[in-house]
Amino acid sequence: MANLPQVTAAGPMLEARTISVAIDCPADALYERFWRPERFALWASGLSAAGLEPDGDGWRGQGPDGPIRVVFTPRNGLGVLDHRVDIGEGRIVSIPLRIVAADGACLAQEG
């Protein structure tokens, strides 16, 4: 086994949760419906009222506390729909999101 560096925590551990929703739909079909950034507002609750508009490599909109900028993972064959939301003042919220195949259906997993 390789000699790996020891990792130590620099502060308190933060709680993490993964939310999974089973969907009766093939994973590739669901991914195709969701991957376009202009459609994110239809299903991503935090972006539903943002009024996203293209802005270079990202999208701009209006969040509950002011302007936001969102950058989405490019379209891919891995089911990855990650996005980062810049909510201003150097605060960025990263949202990992996956579409995972599961016996002819799929799981949408966030967290």
Q: How far apart are CA 85 and CA 83, in angstroms?
A: 7
Instruction: For the chain, give the mean pLDDT.
Output: 85
Task: Note the pTM of the prediction, 2 decimals.
Answer: 0.76
Residues whose CB is less than 8 angstroms from the CB of residue 106 and which lie 6 or more positions away in sequence, other chains included: 22, 23, 25, 26, 27, 30, 99, 100
The band of 101, judged by pLDDT with boundaries at 50, 70 and 90, is: very high
Q: Which of 22-26, 34-38, 56-60, 82-86 has the lowest mean pLDDT?
A: 34-38
